[in-house]
Structures are given as structure tokens and as C-alpha cells.
Amino acid sequence: MPGDTDPRDTTRELAALARLALEEDEARAIGGQLEQILDYVRSLQVVDVEGVPEYLSAEQPDSGLRDDEVGPMLDRERALSAAPSHRDGHLLVPKFKD
């Protein structure tokens, strides 16, 4: 049954997914807060949304988005000269994922 799991187990699982190292006291504190959030989300599952139109902001005509238009390309040398780091004609970016 939802809500019957130990909040610490849920916290540890989410921390592992997010690659966070939590001390036991941090996991305990966050676990309580997380359980409150999950209880609120569970309470929303009983809300009747029958007949309520789906919200698609990007598809609404007054969203302010413009059509894509092909324009002139940026010169490679100009782009590389503006980059903080490049090698062999390619931009270098910091590693962000293991």
C-alpha cells in the first residue's frame, strides 16, 4: 500500500538515484520532509480531472513563440575564437556526467 514504506528507504533510494551521499541524520530529516511531499502528491491523485482540458502551453496560439526561421550560419572560426576552450576545430566543454 502506498505510504507504508519506511521514509528512510525512499530517501536512500532517491539519494542513490541523484548520486547524493547523505549522513544518517540528513536522511532522517529529509525523509520526513519527503514523506510530507509524497503524501501531498498522493492526495492529488483523488482529484477529479474528468473533462478538464490538458494544459499545453507551447501549443497555445498566444504563447508568444515564433516560427523557426533559417538564418545565416555562424562562421566556424568566429565561433571558436569566442569559445573559452577548443581543440581541432571542436568546442571543449567541461565533463558533466560520469
Name residue 91's beta-bridge partners.
Answer: 86
The cell numbers describing 16, all together, are 542513490
One CATH from 1.20.950, 3.40.50, 1.10.3470, 1.10.20 for 7-44: 1.10.20
Which grid cell is 76?
A: 566556424
Residues shown for the chain: 98
* pLDDT tens by residue, 46-94: 999 999 988 776 655 666 677 889 999 989 999 999 999 999 999 999 8
pTM to 2 decimal places: 0.43
Helices 24-44 and 7-17: crossing angle in degrees, nearest 10, is 100
Place of cell 491523485: 45
pLDDT at 1 over 50: no
> What's the DSSP call for residue 47?
S
What residues does each domain of the chain span? 7-44
